Structure 1
Amino acid sequence: MADSCARERRDGRAENEMRPVTLTRNVMKNALGSCLAEFGDTRVLCAATIEEDVPRWRKGAHAGWVTAEYAMLPASTSRRTKRETPARKGRSMEIERLIGRSLRTVVNLRTLGEITVTVDCDVIQADGGTRTASITGAWVALHDALLAWVQAGRIARLPLTGQVAAISMGMVDGRLLLDLDYPEDSQAEVDMNLVGTDDGRIVEIQGTGERTPFDRERLNALLDMGQDAIARLVALQNEVTGFRA
C-alpha cells in the first residue's frame, strides 16, 4: 500500500489525498445559515432556512424535522442541465433524501420544537462528489441556522448531537482512490460514497461494482480511507464553526 499511495493521479494527488476543500460560511444574506462547499472544482451552495411548522404527518409528535432539497443548476456541467421544475429527476430526489437523513442523525429533533429546517443544496459547478460535498457543507449551514435560532431565544440550546460529513472513494484501473473527480468517477470500476459522524460511526455506505465485483479486503481498505478523510472534514467543520458537541 505504501508504494500505491505514493503514485500520483492526473492532478498530482496521491491515491489517499482529497482535493483542496474549502467551507465558506455566511455567503447568503437571507438564509439563517449558509455555506459554499468547494471540493476542488466541485462547488455546492448550501442554505438553511427555518419554518415554524412541520409536515402534516409530523404534527402532534412534539418534535421538529430536518429535510433537504438538491439540484444541479443549468450551467453546473459541461453541457447545460435542464431545470428540474416541474419534472424532478430521480437522482436528485435520492440525493436529497440522503442529505436529509444524514443530517437528522446528528440532531435531537425533540428539542427543536415543531419547526422544519430545510437545507437547500444547489450545485453551481460539478466535477464529481456533489452529494458528499453537499452533506459536508449542509452540516455547516444547519449548524449556523440552529445557532441563530438559539441566539434569537427561540430554543434553549443547540440541538446538535454531533457532526456529519461525507466523501467519495472508488477503484479506477485497479487503484483505490479517494475523492474522485468527474473523469475518475466516469471510469471507476467501483464507486462508493461514505457518510460518517465525528465519533467515527458510519451513517451510510453506498458502494457499487460498476464494472467489476470487489472483495472484502478492498472494501475494508476503501472504508479505512474514507473514514480517515471524514475525520479531516470534521476537523475543518470544527475550524470554521467552533462547534464542540
Structure 2
Amino acid sequence: MTHPPTTDILTHGSDRPRRLSRRGLAALIALALAVAGGLTAWRLRPAPAPPFTGSDLQGVYAGMVRSDGTNDASVIDPRRVAAEPGTVTPAACEPLFEASVLNRPPPGALDGVGTFWALRPSAVSLFSYRFAGAAGAGRELARLAGALSACGGTRVSVTGRLTADGELAAVRRDRVQLAYVLTARDGTKLAVHVLAFSNTVSWQYRYEPVPGPYDPLVAQNVMDSLADQMRAVQQLHRRVHRGAAATGLRRR
C-alpha cells in the first residue's frame, strides 16, 4: 500500500498574530520622531556660502580703511604684477616671502585686492588673492605651513629691495592662520600674517625697522577685522543669492 507524498512544514512559535509591547511601540515612535527631526534639520540647514567673487573681495577691502577713514585699495592682476628681484636662503623657505617681499603671486591665484599703509617708520601691506575654490586656497596655506615647519627656528637670509638675515620664528600656526617673523641683527623685522578664508588667502606684511621684540597683537587685530569683513560680505552674498533664487521661482 502506497501513501501519498507529504510535505514537511516547519513551524516556530505560535501562529497567533503578534502585538507590539508598549516598550517596543514607544521605541518605534521615538525612532520615527528622530528621523523626522533629522530630515527637518537637514532641510533647514544653512546653505554653504558661495565662493568669493572678484567684486566680493573688492567689497571686503572697501571696509578696510585707515585710521583717517580713507582707503586706497586696488585690484591685483597676477599677470601684470612686477615681481621683485631677490632670493631667499635656504631655498625651502622662499614660499614664506614669495608673495610679500618678492611680490610674486601664489600659484593658481585668479586675481586679488590689496592696500597699503605707510606708518612711519613702519610699513604695512595687506592683500588677498582669490582662488578657483576653497581647495586651491587650502593647498596654498598647506604649502606655506610646510615651509614654516621646515624653516621655523633656523637662520634665513632675504635679499632684494628689503634685506634681512636672522632667525625665523613662528608666531602662530593653526588650520586657517599662520604668522612668522624674521628678525635681523639690527632689529629690523619682516613679519608676515596669513589667513585662509573660503577660496581666498590673505597676507599682512609688516616691515618694522625698530628695535625690540615683535608684538603680534596689532597685526592680529587687523587679521581679525579682515575676517569679520569677509564674513559680513559672505552673509550679504548669501542673502542676495537666496533672494535671486526666490524671485526666479516666483517667476516660474
If the length of structure 1 is used for normalisation, what is the TM-score? 0.30
If the length of structure 2 is used for normalisation, what is the TM-score? 0.30
